Amino acid sequence: MLIDSHCHLDDERLAADEEFVLQRAGAAGVEYLVTIGTDEKTSAAAAKIASRHPGRIFHTVGAHPSDVDRFGEAELSEIERLAHETGPKAIGEVGLDYYHDSNREKQAVVFERMINLARQLSLPLVIHDRDAHEDIYRILSEKARGLKIMMHCYSAGPSFVDRFMELGCLFSIAGPVTFKNGQDHRDAVVKIPLDRLVVETDSPYLTPHPHRGERNEPAYVKLTAEKVAEVKGLGLEELAERTTQNARKFFAI
Ligand SMILES: [Zn+2]
């Protein structure tokens, strides 16, 4: 039994095909899915999808750092309303993205506002960190103490594991751990204790080997789980059981 702890089922590449995507996920042993909001529209769509599949699909409400240039008060208030009214299992994805070119100061302001929202609602945080590890760590350690935190598609390598461990974070491992050039991801997995690991697809993005280049979908979380199990020297079944336990506890599902 597996959980895909991070997917974007509202994305048209998956939504157009929802029934078959969910069938294939079921056939691959993916019992639960967490579909992630990134703005006011995708968060509302995620809530709708979850409401159609109670007990199987859960959702989050978030404000993605790459979208901040578009976020005014109306959009942020709507995200907050959705967080209060649709029963999300976490606030996210939220964080910082220094790879894409959006306003860094505003990213930090929106990120901190979302951390406050999580605190208000006693919800965990799902963090997007792209090329912003130092600032993510600093803001989390200043503002998010005591909150549950998941580093989505953990990409900061083995050297940051200790710092994020100290914040109590879970580390969510995605497709890049299967890539030829994914050694840094595998080295991080070696270092992360089993009780802090979860797996995700981030579908439709980040498709694991051997499907790299195609659309990703939740069934492929099994390929990532197999690689993580191999790196950890465990059987797939044990790895699946432990990561599922960790994710269920985190999201309270
Ligand atoms: Zn995502």
Report the CATH number that the domain containing residue 180 is assigned in CATH: 3.20.20.140
What is the 7 CA–ligand 1 centroid distance (Å)?
A: 6
Phi-psi region of 188 (alpha: psi -120 to 50; beta: other; left: phi over 0): alpha
What is the 43 CA–ligand 1 centroid distance (Å)?
A: 12
What pLDDT, on a 0 to 100 scale, did the predictor assign at position 100?
Answer: 86
> Which residues, 6+ apart, have CB-to-CB distance to 191 below 8 Å?
158, 161
What is the 30 CA–ligand 1 centroid distance (Å)?
A: 18
Q: Give the pLDDT band of residue 109 (cuts 50, 70, 90).
A: very high
What pLDDT, on a 0 to 100 scale, did the predictor assign at position 164?
Answer: 98
- Please determine, for residue 82, whether its predicted confidence score (pLDDT) is greater than 90: yes
What is the 223 CA–ligand 1 centroid distance (Å)?
A: 18
CA atoms of 122 and 183, how far apart (whole Å): 36
What is the 3 CA–ligand 1 centroid distance (Å)?
A: 15
Tens-place pLDDT, residues 153-202: 999 999 999 999 999 999 999 999 999 999 999 999 999 999 999 999 99
Buried/exposed 47-78: b ≥16 CB within 10 Å, e otherwise? bebbeebeeebbbbbbbbbbbbeebeeebbeb
What is the 233 CA–ligand 1 centroid distance (Å)?
A: 28
What is the 120 CA–ligand 1 centroid distance (Å)?
A: 23
- Please determine, for residue 79, whether its predicted confidence score (pLDDT) is greater than 90: yes
Q: Where are the alpha helices (DSSP H) in the chain?
A: 12-15, 18-27, 40-52, 73-85, 104-121, 133-143, 161-166, 183-191, 221-232, 236-251
What is the 190 CA–ligand 1 centroid distance (Å)?
A: 23
What is the 37 CA–ligand 1 centroid distance (Å)?
A: 8
What pLDDT, on a 0 to 100 scale, did the predictor assign at position 33?
Answer: 98
What pLDDT, on a 0 to 100 scale, did the predictor assign at position 230?
Answer: 98
What is the 10 CA–ligand 1 centroid distance (Å)?
A: 11
What is the 125 CA–ligand 1 centroid distance (Å)?
A: 13
Mean pLDDT computed over 126-149:
97
Tens-place pLDDT, residues 199-248: 999 999 999 999 999 999 999 999 999 999 999 999 999 999 999 999 99
What pLDDT, on a 0 to 100 scale, did the predictor assign at position 108?
Answer: 98
Q: Domain containing 89: what range?
A: 2-251
φ, ψ of residue 136 to 5 degrees: the values are -60, -50
What is the 191 CA–ligand 1 centroid distance (Å)?
A: 23
What is the 155 CA–ligand 1 centroid distance (Å)?
A: 13
Mean pLDDT computed over 35-64:
98
Number of structural domains, the chain?
A: 1
- Please determine, for residue 101, whether its predicted confidence score (pLDDT) is greater than 90: no
What is the 208 CA–ligand 1 centroid distance (Å)?
A: 15
- Please determine, for residue 59, whether its predicted confidence score (pLDDT) is greater than 90: yes
What is the 5 CA–ligand 1 centroid distance (Å)?
A: 10
What is the 51 CA–ligand 1 centroid distance (Å)?
A: 20
What pLDDT, on a 0 to 100 scale, did the predictor assign at position 99?
Answer: 94
Mean pLDDT computed over 72-86:
98
